[in-house]
Protein backbone atom coordinates (compact mmCIF):
# COMPACT_ATOMS: atom_id res chain seq x y z
CA UNK A 1 0.00 0.00 0.00
CA UNK A 2 1.23 3.53 -0.75
CA UNK A 3 2.50 5.77 2.05
CA UNK A 4 1.50 9.40 2.57
CA UNK A 5 2.53 11.96 5.14
CA UNK A 6 -0.11 13.34 7.47
CA UNK A 7 -0.15 16.59 5.48
CA UNK A 8 -0.65 14.72 2.21
CA UNK A 9 -3.45 12.62 3.69
CA UNK A 10 -5.31 15.70 4.96
CA UNK A 11 -4.81 17.48 1.61
CA UNK A 12 -6.15 14.46 -0.26
CA UNK A 13 -9.24 14.35 1.95
CA UNK A 14 -9.88 18.05 1.30
CA UNK A 15 -9.37 17.63 -2.45
CA UNK A 16 -11.73 14.66 -2.64
CA UNK A 17 -14.47 16.37 -0.64
CA UNK A 18 -14.17 19.62 -2.63
CA UNK A 19 -14.57 17.60 -5.83
CA UNK A 20 -17.41 15.48 -4.44
CA UNK A 21 -19.66 18.22 -3.05
CA UNK A 22 -19.89 21.76 -4.42
CA UNK A 23 -21.21 22.97 -1.06
CA UNK A 24 -17.82 22.31 0.54
CA UNK A 25 -15.40 25.22 0.64
CA UNK A 26 -12.25 26.05 2.59
CA UNK A 27 -11.66 29.29 4.45
CA UNK A 28 -8.73 30.52 6.52
CA UNK A 29 -5.67 32.72 6.74
CA UNK A 30 -2.95 32.17 4.11
CA UNK A 31 -4.56 29.00 2.75
CA UNK A 32 -4.54 30.20 -0.87
CA UNK A 33 -1.36 31.08 -2.72
CA UNK A 34 0.77 30.43 0.37
CA UNK A 35 -0.78 26.98 0.82
CA UNK A 36 -1.44 27.22 4.55
CA UNK A 37 0.94 27.73 7.45
CA UNK A 38 2.03 24.09 7.27
CA UNK A 39 1.61 23.63 3.52
CA UNK A 40 -1.43 21.39 3.82
CA UNK A 41 -3.52 23.42 1.35
CA UNK A 42 -0.81 23.62 -1.31
CA UNK A 43 -2.22 23.57 -4.85
CA UNK A 44 -5.90 23.60 -3.87
CA UNK A 45 -6.59 27.22 -4.86
CA UNK A 46 -5.12 26.56 -8.33
CA UNK A 47 -7.36 23.52 -8.68
CA UNK A 48 -10.63 24.85 -7.23
CA UNK A 49 -10.31 28.64 -7.42
CA UNK A 50 -10.66 31.46 -4.88
CA UNK A 51 -14.40 30.92 -4.33
CA UNK A 52 -13.82 27.41 -2.99
CA UNK A 53 -10.50 28.14 -1.26
CA UNK A 54 -11.16 31.46 0.43
CA UNK A 55 -8.44 33.67 1.86
CA UNK A 56 -9.63 35.28 5.10
CA UNK A 57 -8.59 38.40 7.01
CA UNK A 58 -6.78 38.00 10.32
CA UNK A 59 -9.91 37.61 12.43
CA UNK A 60 -10.69 34.18 13.80
CA UNK A 61 -13.99 35.50 15.16
CA UNK A 62 -15.04 36.62 11.68
CA UNK A 63 -13.86 33.39 10.02
CA UNK A 64 -15.79 31.12 12.38
CA UNK A 65 -18.79 33.45 12.69
CA UNK A 66 -19.37 33.75 8.94
CA UNK A 67 -18.86 30.01 8.58
CA UNK A 68 -21.61 29.34 11.10
CA UNK A 69 -23.93 31.49 9.00
CA UNK A 70 -22.90 29.77 5.78
CA UNK A 71 -23.45 26.35 7.34
CA UNK A 72 -26.93 27.35 8.49
CA UNK A 73 -27.74 28.29 4.89
CA UNK A 74 -26.68 24.96 3.45
CA UNK A 75 -22.95 25.28 2.78
CA UNK A 76 -20.34 22.97 4.35
CA UNK A 77 -17.41 25.20 5.31
CA UNK A 78 -14.07 23.76 6.37
CA UNK A 79 -12.38 26.38 8.51
CA UNK A 80 -8.63 26.39 9.02
CA UNK A 81 -7.38 28.15 12.14
CA UNK A 82 -3.61 28.60 11.83
CA UNK A 83 -2.85 27.42 15.39
CA UNK A 84 -5.31 25.80 17.78
CA UNK A 85 -4.36 28.42 20.38
CA UNK A 86 -6.09 31.01 18.17
CA UNK A 87 -9.44 29.23 18.44
CA UNK A 88 -9.68 31.11 21.74
CA UNK A 89 -10.44 34.21 19.67
CA UNK A 90 -13.53 32.52 18.22
CA UNK A 91 -14.86 30.67 21.27
CA UNK A 92 -18.08 32.70 21.39
CA UNK A 93 -18.94 31.81 17.79
CA UNK A 94 -17.94 28.18 18.26
CA UNK A 95 -19.28 27.50 21.75
CA UNK A 96 -22.32 29.77 21.99
CA UNK A 97 -23.47 29.63 18.38
CA UNK A 98 -22.24 26.64 16.36
CA UNK A 99 -22.58 24.16 19.22
CA UNK A 100 -26.01 25.33 20.36
CA UNK A 101 -28.13 26.16 17.33
CA UNK A 102 -29.20 22.66 16.30
CA UNK A 103 -30.41 21.96 19.84
CA UNK A 104 -32.05 25.36 20.30
CA UNK A 105 -33.96 24.98 17.03
CA UNK A 106 -35.24 21.54 17.91
CA UNK A 107 -33.25 20.02 15.07
CA UNK A 108 -34.63 22.38 12.42
CA UNK A 109 -31.20 23.92 11.87
CA UNK A 110 -27.97 22.15 11.06
CA UNK A 111 -24.43 23.48 11.39
CA UNK A 112 -22.31 21.23 9.13
CA UNK A 113 -18.91 22.84 9.55
CA UNK A 114 -15.42 21.66 10.44
CA UNK A 115 -12.80 23.66 12.30
CA UNK A 116 -9.40 22.22 11.35
CA UNK A 117 -6.51 23.39 13.44
CA UNK A 118 -2.90 22.32 14.18
CA UNK A 119 -2.29 21.58 17.84
CA UNK A 120 0.45 20.41 20.16
CA UNK A 121 4.05 21.08 21.03
CA UNK A 122 7.39 19.72 19.91
CA UNK A 123 8.26 22.38 17.34
CA UNK A 124 9.71 25.07 19.60
CA UNK A 125 6.76 27.36 18.91
CA UNK A 126 6.46 28.39 22.59
CA UNK A 127 3.52 29.02 24.89
CA UNK A 128 1.04 30.76 22.54
CA UNK A 129 1.40 28.34 19.60
CA UNK A 130 1.80 24.91 21.21
CA UNK A 131 -1.22 24.11 23.36
CA UNK A 132 -3.43 21.03 23.42
CA UNK A 133 -6.89 22.36 24.24
CA UNK A 134 -9.06 19.37 23.36
CA UNK A 135 -10.62 19.23 26.83
CA UNK A 136 -12.13 22.68 26.23
CA UNK A 137 -14.00 21.52 23.15
CA UNK A 138 -14.97 18.12 24.52
CA UNK A 139 -16.60 19.89 27.47
CA UNK A 140 -19.08 21.67 25.18
CA UNK A 141 -22.27 19.75 24.28
CA UNK A 142 -22.94 20.01 20.55
CA UNK A 143 -19.32 19.87 19.37
CA UNK A 144 -17.71 16.73 17.99
CA UNK A 145 -13.98 16.39 18.59
CA UNK A 146 -11.49 14.33 16.55
CA UNK A 147 -7.76 13.75 17.18
CA UNK A 148 -6.17 11.51 14.53
CA UNK A 149 -2.76 9.97 15.15
CA UNK A 150 -1.93 8.52 11.72
CA UNK A 151 -2.28 9.61 8.08
CA UNK A 152 -4.85 6.83 7.54
CA UNK A 153 -6.99 8.06 10.42
CA UNK A 154 -6.54 11.72 9.45
CA UNK A 155 -7.95 11.18 5.98
CA UNK A 156 -10.82 8.89 6.97
CA UNK A 157 -11.90 10.96 9.95
CA UNK A 158 -11.69 14.27 8.07
CA UNK A 159 -13.90 13.01 5.25
CA UNK A 160 -16.42 11.79 7.83
CA UNK A 161 -16.24 15.15 9.64
CA UNK A 162 -16.96 17.13 6.47
CA UNK A 163 -20.01 14.98 5.74
CA UNK A 164 -21.40 15.28 9.28
CA UNK A 165 -24.27 17.68 9.97
CA UNK A 166 -22.78 18.82 13.29
CA UNK A 167 -19.87 21.17 14.01
CA UNK A 168 -16.58 19.29 14.36
CA UNK A 169 -13.31 20.44 15.91
CA UNK A 170 -10.60 18.54 14.05
CA UNK A 171 -7.25 18.63 15.84
CA UNK A 172 -4.18 17.87 13.72
CA UNK A 173 -0.92 17.59 15.63
CA UNK A 174 1.84 19.60 13.96
CA UNK A 175 4.24 16.67 14.15
CA UNK A 176 1.70 14.43 12.40
CA UNK A 177 2.14 16.39 9.18
CA UNK A 178 5.55 14.75 8.60
CA UNK A 179 4.66 11.27 9.83
CA UNK A 180 4.30 8.70 7.04
CA UNK A 181 1.78 5.90 7.02
CA UNK A 182 -0.19 3.61 4.76
CA UNK A 183 -3.26 5.18 3.14
CA UNK A 184 -5.39 3.23 0.63
CA UNK A 185 -6.21 4.89 -2.67
CA UNK A 186 -9.87 3.97 -2.62
CA UNK A 187 -12.73 5.86 -1.03
CA UNK A 188 -13.13 5.35 2.72
CA UNK A 189 -14.33 7.13 5.83
CA UNK A 190 -13.84 6.34 9.52
CA UNK A 191 -16.98 6.63 11.66
CA UNK A 192 -16.74 8.84 14.71
CA UNK A 193 -16.90 6.97 18.01
CA UNK A 194 -14.84 3.94 16.94
CA UNK A 195 -11.54 3.51 18.77
CA UNK A 196 -8.65 1.60 17.23
CA UNK A 197 -6.30 -0.82 18.97
CA UNK A 198 -2.93 0.13 17.51
CA UNK A 199 -1.19 -2.73 19.33
CA UNK A 200 -2.75 -5.68 21.13
CA UNK A 201 -1.56 -6.64 24.61
CA UNK A 202 -2.53 -8.54 27.73
CA UNK A 203 -0.91 -6.91 30.77
CA UNK A 204 -1.86 -3.23 30.64
CA UNK A 205 -4.01 -0.89 28.54
CA UNK A 206 -2.43 2.36 27.40
CA UNK A 207 -5.05 4.82 26.14
CA UNK A 208 -3.22 7.52 24.21
CA UNK A 209 -4.32 10.36 21.93
CA UNK A 210 -2.85 12.12 18.90
CA UNK A 211 0.97 12.05 18.68
CA UNK A 212 1.20 10.41 22.10
CA UNK A 213 0.01 7.23 20.38
CA UNK A 214 3.44 7.03 18.74
CA UNK A 215 5.19 7.56 22.07
CA UNK A 216 3.00 4.84 23.57
CA UNK A 217 3.85 2.40 20.77
CA UNK A 218 7.55 3.03 21.29
CA UNK A 219 7.11 2.53 25.02
CA UNK A 220 5.22 -0.72 24.35
CA UNK A 221 8.22 -2.01 22.40
CA UNK A 222 10.50 -1.17 25.33
CA UNK A 223 8.11 -2.88 27.73
CA UNK A 224 7.99 -6.01 25.59
CA UNK A 225 11.74 -6.42 26.18
CA UNK A 226 10.93 -6.45 29.91
CA UNK A 227 8.27 -9.13 29.47
CA UNK A 228 5.30 -6.76 29.72
CA UNK A 229 2.60 -6.92 27.03
CA UNK A 230 1.02 -3.47 26.56
CA UNK A 231 -2.15 -2.81 24.58
CA UNK A 232 -2.22 0.64 22.94
CA UNK A 233 -5.71 1.99 22.29
CA UNK A 234 -6.34 5.18 20.32
CA UNK A 235 -9.84 6.66 20.86
CA UNK A 236 -9.46 8.67 17.59
CA UNK A 237 -12.46 10.79 18.58
CA UNK A 238 -13.10 12.23 22.04
CA UNK A 239 -16.70 13.16 21.22
CA UNK A 240 -18.23 10.70 20.69
CA UNK A 241 -15.97 8.52 22.84
CA UNK A 242 -15.81 4.76 22.31
CA UNK A 243 -16.30 3.88 25.97
CA UNK A 244 -17.08 0.26 25.13
CA UNK A 245 -13.68 -0.34 23.51
CA UNK A 246 -11.87 1.22 26.48
CA UNK A 247 -13.83 -0.78 29.05
CA UNK A 248 -13.37 -4.04 27.15
CA UNK A 249 -9.63 -3.49 26.94
CA UNK A 250 -9.28 -2.58 30.61
CA UNK A 251 -11.44 -5.57 31.52
CA UNK A 252 -8.99 -7.82 29.70
CA UNK A 253 -5.75 -6.33 31.02
CA UNK A 254 -6.73 -5.19 34.52
CA UNK A 255 -4.52 -2.08 34.35
CA UNK A 256 -4.86 1.36 32.77
CA UNK A 257 -2.36 4.08 31.89
CA UNK A 258 -3.74 7.20 30.17
CA UNK A 259 -1.43 9.37 28.08
CA UNK A 260 -2.11 12.79 26.62
CA UNK A 261 0.01 15.84 25.84
CA UNK A 262 -2.34 18.37 27.43
CA UNK A 263 -1.73 19.36 31.07
CA UNK A 264 -2.87 16.74 33.54
CA UNK A 265 -5.12 19.13 35.49
CA UNK A 266 -8.54 19.14 33.84
CA UNK A 267 -7.26 17.07 30.93
CA UNK A 268 -9.44 14.61 29.05
CA UNK A 269 -7.62 11.74 30.76
CA UNK A 270 -9.65 12.49 33.86
CA UNK A 271 -12.84 11.81 31.87
CA UNK A 272 -11.49 8.48 30.66
CA UNK A 273 -10.52 7.54 34.21
CA UNK A 274 -14.02 8.47 35.42
CA UNK A 275 -15.62 6.30 32.73
CA UNK A 276 -13.62 3.31 33.95
CA UNK A 277 -14.17 4.13 37.64
CA UNK A 278 -17.94 4.17 37.10
CA UNK A 279 -18.10 0.82 35.32
CA UNK A 280 -17.79 -2.89 36.08
CA UNK A 281 -14.27 -2.72 34.65
CA UNK A 282 -13.26 -0.85 37.80
CA UNK A 283 -13.64 -4.06 39.81
CA UNK A 284 -11.20 -5.82 37.49
CA UNK A 285 -8.43 -3.31 38.04
CA UNK A 286 -5.38 -4.77 39.73
CA UNK A 287 -3.74 -1.38 40.29
CA UNK A 288 -4.76 2.30 40.48
CA UNK A 289 -5.28 4.16 37.20
CA UNK A 290 -2.18 6.09 36.15
CA UNK A 291 -2.04 9.28 34.07
CA UNK A 292 1.06 10.31 32.14
CA UNK A 293 0.34 13.83 30.90
CA UNK A 294 1.82 17.21 30.16
CA UNK A 295 3.00 19.42 32.99
CA UNK A 296 0.63 21.99 34.46
CA UNK A 297 2.65 24.80 32.92
CA UNK A 298 2.71 26.87 29.72
CA UNK A 299 4.83 25.25 26.99
CA UNK A 300 8.40 26.63 27.21
CA UNK A 301 10.29 27.90 24.16
CA UNK A 302 13.54 26.26 25.23
CA UNK A 303 13.79 22.85 23.53
CA UNK A 304 14.98 20.96 26.62
CA UNK A 305 12.32 22.53 28.83
CA UNK A 306 9.67 21.87 26.18
CA UNK A 307 10.56 18.18 26.15
CA UNK A 308 10.44 18.11 29.93
CA UNK A 309 6.91 19.55 29.89
CA UNK A 310 5.60 16.80 27.60
CA UNK A 311 5.03 13.06 28.19
CA UNK A 312 7.97 11.01 26.95
CA UNK A 313 8.54 7.44 25.90
CA UNK A 314 10.52 6.92 29.09
CA UNK A 315 7.77 8.47 31.21
CA UNK A 316 5.18 6.12 29.75
CA UNK A 317 7.42 3.12 30.46
CA UNK A 318 7.82 4.30 34.06
CA UNK A 319 4.06 4.73 34.42
CA UNK A 320 3.43 1.20 33.21
CA UNK A 321 6.11 -0.19 35.53
CA UNK A 322 4.33 1.47 38.44
CA UNK A 323 0.96 -0.11 37.70
CA UNK A 324 2.43 -3.53 36.90
CA UNK A 325 4.63 -3.64 39.99
CA UNK A 326 7.92 -4.22 38.13
List, by residue number, the catalytic residues. 129
Cα–Cα distance for residue pair 127/309, rounded to 1 Å: 11
Give per-residue burial for 210-224: e unless 16+ CB within 10 Å, then b.
bbbbbbbbbbbeebe
**Facing residues of 88 across strands?**
none
List the one residue out of 148, 151, 160, 149 whose CA is nearest residue 188. 160
List the one residue out of 195, 198, 155 whose CA is nearest residue 177. 155
The 3-class secondary structure across the chain, one letter per residue, is: CCEEEHHHHHHHHHHHHHHHCCCEEEEECCCCCCCCCCCCCCCHHHHHCCCCEEECCCCHHHHHHHHHHHHHCCCEEEEECCCHHHHHHHHHHHHHHHCCHHHHCCCCCCCCCEEEEEECCCCCCCCCCCCCCHHHHHCCCCCEEECCCCHHHHHHHHHHHHHCCCCEEEEEEHHHHHCEEECCCCCCCCCCCCCEEEECCCCEEEEECCCHHHHHHHHHHHHHHCCCCEEEEECCEEECCCHHHHHHHHHHHCCEEEEEEEECCCCHHHHHHHHHHCCHHHHHCCCCCEEEEECCCCCCCCHHHHHHHCCCHHHHHHHHHHHHCC
CB 120 within 8 A of CB 173: yes
Number of residues that this document lists for the chain: 326
Amino acid sequence: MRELTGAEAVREALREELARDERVYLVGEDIGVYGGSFGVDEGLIEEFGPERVREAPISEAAIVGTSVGAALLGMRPVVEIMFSDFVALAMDQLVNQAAKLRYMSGGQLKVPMVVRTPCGAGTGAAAQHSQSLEAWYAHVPGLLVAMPSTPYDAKGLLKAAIRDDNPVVFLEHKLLYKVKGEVPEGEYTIPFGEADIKRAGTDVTIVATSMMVHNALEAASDLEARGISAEVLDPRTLVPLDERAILESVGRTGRLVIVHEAPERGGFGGEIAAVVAGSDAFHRLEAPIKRVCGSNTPIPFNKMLEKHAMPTREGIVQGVLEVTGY
